[in-house]
């Protein structure tokens, strides 16, 4: 049985679906603070918070958990800049508690959802897993702190293996539109741009058009959420045979904010007005991953390789929920 923390969230719901479709049983633990139980259509759902050590222990006591997939984290860079201690507590301290309880119950496989934000402002692009990690916001720092703790435990404990996935920007939605991205408030670029196309917002604000990039707007590497889910499936087999490791998960291509708006215009066949705003604290100019390692070691491939195709799946989901 697989415990998925944060399985009611955007990425967790897609991971939970694919893993169930491939014959595994799951338990989803989520406090629903940033999600909705409607996203948990597979496995058993337990509402609860990672800070509740008694609840977590009781889950390991009651169910035969073999693997933990840990996705229950706070994810807003700007919120982390305004309230860093909330991020260190939720993303670092609660993760440490979860891991220590899992280890006490002899769990020996742990998969952690880290982020491109651990790299900060990378000196070398594309970013390989060997790049230095210098996060420039508390969100990225809180994730790196837990990565370091997990790596230490993985070295100390014989037969305990972990995989750290550093996701770049997750995007898109499941093709049958059962689940998708629906944060409240939404902080991610693609659903916000699509909100403008759907008439829910008047215009899109671009945070900074004076970055050292060809069109001045920030560049990010995107990955379809189902490609993230399929990497989790691959890694379950990998953890049976291999030692702990770190993998970037991305398409390996960069798109500027302007290019994302242009793609949304093509997909929605509408004009999307925008306004240039000041830069936000904590945003690196360019994040593009080198994804060779995950392709080689996990034999993983992205099903979605065109940004328009990814955005189409988001648009179909946004149309359904609006």
User: Which residues in this chain contact ligand NAD in the complex, by CB under 6 A?
Assistant: 6, 8-12, 30-35, 49-51, 71-75, 90, 94, 113, 115, 167, 169-170, 183
- Closest Cα to residue 146, out of 75, 65, 91? 91
Smaller CB separation from ligand NAD, 196 or 228:
228
**CA torsion sign, 38 to 40 to 45 to 46?**
negative
Could you say which of 94, 139, 222, 317 is catalytic? 139
2 in helix, strand or coil?
strand
Q: How far apart are CA 303 and CA 173, in angstroms?
A: 13
Smaller CB separation from ligand NAD, 50 or 286:
50
Give the nearest distance from C-beta 188 to ligand NAD in angstroms.
6
Give the nearest distance from C-beta 144 to ligand NAD in angstroms.
12
Smaller CB separation from ligand NAD, 56 or 206:
56
139 is catalytic: yes
User: Which residue is nearest to ligand NAD, using beta carbons?
Assistant: 9
- Closest Cα to residue 76, out of 138, 158, 6, 166? 138
Give the nearest distance from C-beta 292 to ligand NAD in angstroms.
19
Give the nearest distance from C-beta 82 to ligand NAD in angstroms.
17
Q: How far apart are CA 232 and CA 252, in angstroms?
A: 18
Beta strands in 80-226 (DSSP E): 109-115, 161-167, 169-171, 204-207, 219-224
Smaller CB separation from ligand NAD, 41 or 214:
41
Residues 101 and 29 sit within 8 Å (Cβ to Cβ): no
Strand partners, 219: 256, 286
Residues marked as catalytic: 139
């Amino acid at each position: 049985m697989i415990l998925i923390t944060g399985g009611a969230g955007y990425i967790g719901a897609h991971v939970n679906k694919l893993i169930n479709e491939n014959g595994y049983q799951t338990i989803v633990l989520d406090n629903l603070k940033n999600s909705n139980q409607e996203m948990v259509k597979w496995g058993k759902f337990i509402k609860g918070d990672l800070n509740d050590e008694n609840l977590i222990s009781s889950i390991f006591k009651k169910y035969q958990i073999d693997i933990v997939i840990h996705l229950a984290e706070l994810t807003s860079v700007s919120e982390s800049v305004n309230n860093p201690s909330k991020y260190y507590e939720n993303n670092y301290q609660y993760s440490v508690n979860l891991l220590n309880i899992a280890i006490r119950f002899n769990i020996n496989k742990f998969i952690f959802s880290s982020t491109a934000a651990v790299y900060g402002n990378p000196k070398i692009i594309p970013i390989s897993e060997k790049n230095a990690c210098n996060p420039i916001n508390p969100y990225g720092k809180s994730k790196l702190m837990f990565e370091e703790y997990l790596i230490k435990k993985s070295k100390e404990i014989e037969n305990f293996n972990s995989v750290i996935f550093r996701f770049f920007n997750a995007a898109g939605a499941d093709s049958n539109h059962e689940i998708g991205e629906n944060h409240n408030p939404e902080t991610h670029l693609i659903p916000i741009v699509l909100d403008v196309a759907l008439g829910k917002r008047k215009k899109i604000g671009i945070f900074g058009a004076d970055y050292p990039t060809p069109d001045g707007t920030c560049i990010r590497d995107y990955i379809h959420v189902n490609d993230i889910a399929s990497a989790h499936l691959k890694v379950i087999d990998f953890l049976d045979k291999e030692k702990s490791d770190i993998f970037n998960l991305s398409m390996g291509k960069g798109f500027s904010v302007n290019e994302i708006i242009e793609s949304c215009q093509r997909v929605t066949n509408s004009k999307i007005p925008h306004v240039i705003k000041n830069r936000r604290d904590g945003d690196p100019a360019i994040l593009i991953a080198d994804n060779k390692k995950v392709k080689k070691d996990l034999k993983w491939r992205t099903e979605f390789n065109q940004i328009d195709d990814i955005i189409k799946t988001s648009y179909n989901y946004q149309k359904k929920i609006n």
